[in-house]
Structure 1
Amino acid sequence: MHQPTRRAAALPLLALLVSLTACSSGTGARISGDATTAPPTRRVPGPERTASAVPDRVTIASVGVDSALLPLGLNQDGTVEVPPAEQGMTAGWYTGAAVPGEPGAAVIIGHNDTRFGEAVFHDLHKISKGADIAVRDSRGRTVHFTVTATETVSKKAFPTDKVYGATNARVLRLITCDGAFDPQGHPVDNLIVYAAER
């Protein structure tokens, strides 16, 4: 795994990326977090990281999620990677955002369904306010987050600043696809789960 990097987000570019949203790996496949819904973030300035630990597992017992985490970077077009469809049962941590447990918004993206069937965040819509989300790092440290809210949004109106904006709080966002399908078989919405460190 590579260390996450700090990136500065250009709002005009972000607006363009969000407007290009689409996510599907095949007809009728509901997969998470189209890369364009996860633009580079504006992180809160602070001391450079001294630890080499990175998140490697997410567990949400209340909805049956227990997954390793893949590191997700940027594609060549500047959009954020999503886990390969073949690894639909594995979620990914966006390395351009905060490390879970550090100040800032950490972002985990997971598929809902892929052409191979149900995926890691298939039941994420069942999560309740107050639910526990545990993120373990490569050194064995586990950080717990409490769900504070959920939101279903149109991909054409993705709340980029709300999800990725700079903050001193230690927060987590989970993103997957949701909603009806467009004529090309792409889900038209995103489900966003907001959580804060305990």
Structure 2
Amino acid sequence: MPRIGNTAIATVTVVALCSGVWLLYGGDATHVPPQPGAAEGVLDPGGEGLAAPALPPSPPLRIRIPSIRVNAPLIGLGLTESGNLNAPPADDKNLAGWYEAGTTPGEKGTAIVAGHVDNTQGPAVFYDLGALKKGSTIEVDRRDGGVAVFTVDAIEVYEAKDFPDEKVYGAAERPELRVITCGGGYSKSTGYQGNVVVFAYLTGSR
């Protein structure tokens, strides 16, 4: 498949994930998704030396995050004409997507996974992403039959206007994963004001 750098993704990549339709149409606006604490946003300075060897490229099929009860299939996502990352279909609340023109999870570089925080039915696949803690495990089933195992390095929340493209999407010298959904403040007129981003790196496979 053709590969392009993740930096080709525009700043507002996940804007389509962030309308907050559940809160807009009958949800409880006082019950917003959990947001990460400041302590979870400090990257582990020792993580570089702990990464497992990179795996060969293989498309991902499923993502599991046991500590927040995520177990969801993955579909490939491309870019819109304006450079935004297409969102997974919103009618399936237990579905996530990966940027299929970029790095596959487990190989050297930065792989991108994104999913909705809610839909019209209520909380969706990554509603609890902001509740993750450093050291949590993320598992990705791959088409080659293997499982890439990642350890969470940090969880941060960014306002849309301050989204750090290079930090999130930039090239990496080890196998890394970003898991992205909506977060920050919420407004009925604009939806969620930012994004929750989980930083993780490969620590094993099976």
- Give the share of equivalent positions with the same residue, in percent: 37
Number of paired residues?
174
CA RMSD across the alignment? 2.6
Amino acid at match of 1:5: R
Task: Please tell me whether the aligned partners of residues 20 and 192 of structure 2 are also in contact (alpha carbons under 8 angstroms).
Answer: no
Shift of 1:8: 7.2
Structure 1: runs of 5 or more not aligned? 32-49
Q: Does 1:73 align with 2:84?
A: no
In 1, distance between residues paired with 2:200 and 2:93?
23
Matches within 5 A, 1:1-198: 3=1, 5-7=3-5, 9=7, 14=10, 17-18=11-12, 21=15, 23-24=18-19, 26=21, 28=23, 53-198=58-203
Shift of 1:116: 2.1
Shift of 1:162: 0.2
Q: Could you state the TM-score of these two structures normalised by the residue count of structure 1?
A: 0.78
In 2, distance between residues paired with 1:93 and 1:20?
12
Per-residue CA deviations over 1:116-141 (Å, capped at 9, x if unaligned) read 21100111111110011001111211
Task: Please tell me whether the aligned partners of residues 112 and 177 of structure 2 are also in contact (alpha carbons under 8 angstroms).
Answer: yes
Per-residue CA deviations over 1:31-89 (Å, capped at 9, x if unaligned) read 9xxxxxxxxxxxxxxxxxx86x3101001111100010010011132211011111221
Give the secondary-structure state (helix, strand or coil) at the position aligned to 1:85: coil
Per-residue CA deviations over 1:140-164 (Å, capped at 9, x if unaligned) read 1101000010101101110100011
In 2, distance between residues paired with 1:162 and 1:69?
23
Amino acid at match of 1:71: G
In 1, distance between residues paired with 2:114 and 2:14?
18
Amino acid at match of 1:160: D
In 1, distance between residues paired with 2:189 and 2:116?
18
Give the secondary-structure state (helix, strand or coil) at the position aligned to 1:18: coil
In 1, distance between residues paired with 2:14 and 2:179?
20
Shift of 1:185: 4.3
Q: Could you state the TM-score of these two structures normalised by the residue count of structure 2?
A: 0.75
In 2, distance between residues paired with 1:5 and 1:54?
12
Residues 1:8 and 1:57: Cα distance change in structure 2 (over 3 Å) = closer
Task: Please tell me whether the aligned partners of residues 138 and 149 of structure 2 are also in contact (alpha carbons under 8 angstroms).
Answer: yes
Task: Please tell me whether the aligned partners of residues 28 and 185 of structure 1 are also in contact (alpha carbons under 8 angstroms).
Answer: no
Shift of 1:24: 1.2
Give the secondary-structure state (helix, strand or coil) at the position aligned to 1:144: strand
